[in-house]
Structure 1
Amino acid sequence: MTPSPARRLWAAVEPLHAVVYFAPETAAAAKEAGLRGYWMGYFAGRLAPLGPVGPVPATAVLFGFAPAMVARALPDAWAFASPDDVLGSRLAAVETALERVVGTEHGELAELLERAVAACRFDGRPLAAAWSAVPRPAGVLGRLWLAATVLREHRGDGHVLAAVHTGLTGLETTLTHIGDGVLGRGDVQPHRGWTEDDWTSAAERLRARGLLDPQGRLTAEGTAVRTRLEEDTDRLASAPVEALGAELDRVLELAVPLSRAVVDAGVVPVPNPMGVPRP
């Protein structure tokens, strides 16, 4: 199937956002800020615009992580570094990482992505709303990354809304993603904190609904549910694309080479837990 415009935008821009999860600069910045370990840095860094959020709302917002995994990082992270300090160090680090890989002359792309962000609505999208309220950085790369991040979380929040509407939990949604062959279990389970019992129980529930076969693959009904979920995700992410109009092609022209560069440089691995391919 031909990808929708919303999906094409996501695939082109997601690696630029995802630099923050893999670049050594961000890991070093989290450590320097006082955070302990990769996952404390991940949860504190991703949620910092929401303030010193605790594990229960954090788990709800993030949707796909095991509650126990989130609780190992929050609220302890905020005893080591404030949300403002985490956010500031993270923005500075990702600017450095992007400059190292793609250079600095990307003002046109930053402006176009900011135009797309301006079209977003944030009803029921707490993470995207929080990132949209972060003050615009002075530098072009900071602006580019922040705009890419708002678009990413806007789409991600919409994906959560669509999944909840289908009656799926976060883990069940992950299993349907694996069941359609996009990701392998080993690409996801170690990074989400779910136990073997959690995984088995979720698979049994999906089999009882007729969505998975005994091998963990999507059934015809499971494929239909997954298709609806992805279509709804694209529909809920359509406002930025509609705002860009014909300039979507220019965004893709500018963003795809940069995203390829961060993948080819090994900064963002493929496959990855987000399921984003090399553009």
Structure 2
Amino acid sequence: MPAWKKPDLLEGPLKDLNDALHALHKRAGYPPARRLQARIGKEVFSHTKIHDALTKALLPTRGVVELVVRELAKMARPPIDDIEAEVNRFAALWHAAHGDAPEAAPDHASDRAEGPMGDLGAARSTKRESEGEIQMRAATAHVYQTLVELKRLRPDPNHEWDLYLRTAGEERLAAVEAELGPRDEEGSKIWQDEWERLIQQLEVQTLDIDDTALRERIKDAREFMEWHTETFRVLRWPERKTRLIAARYAMESIEAFRGGDPLPEPSKEYVEMRGVSDLMDELDAERR
């Protein structure tokens, strides 16, 4: 594949980042944007967003840089032994360029977000906000919208099956089937694919949150959503309950941050989930 055209940039941190991206792209064999998109996940970034990261005279978002670099590093020849070190090297280049150049808006920056997130177009046009503030407002809106979608996601069609089996054990399989009917394997796969898509999307979007405290809260909530099996084992909460509690915690934190208020205390139920996490960590430590 041919090399991508470099943008015209003055000497400085942004050019250093762009030159490094092009060098890594060359080392990976000049893979096309659509191939990189397929490796990262088609629902995460558009292929044009990936192409723009190397060809536009704008600072790409941190999330785009991290995931593109990670995939290019995996494809590089000769191989890159320490991919995390390479990702960290580019993170340092990105931070050096941050504030030195205008930033590209995150994907779907014209989308509307539900509820307190308001209209991103209006946020972008607020003259009193700096570019960094507008970028942060857009990033939090995208995360918030994904959390809304996660809250709306219905339970796995087989969730009742799973609840019964985890409670009663495999020996009651015939009795469970007699009571609930056959498992909906196709419906469950569709649900699982959508759940995984949203979780991955949330993970990537969180990379663009510059505020450390808020980013860690969203990451914490996402990990609880992924960890729902352990919550069921200890608290007997179905997956959807864990997901709703975690999503609500992250959404309330974003609402407070955008309103300039202190981040809220976690709910009693969220604290219970955290207690389960601490308990499992202690048990794992004892086993080791």
| Superposed pair shares fold, TM > 0.5 | no
What is the TM-score of this pair, normalised by structure 1?
0.29
> What TM-score results when the alignment is normalised by the length of structure 2?
0.28
The structure with the larger Rg is 2
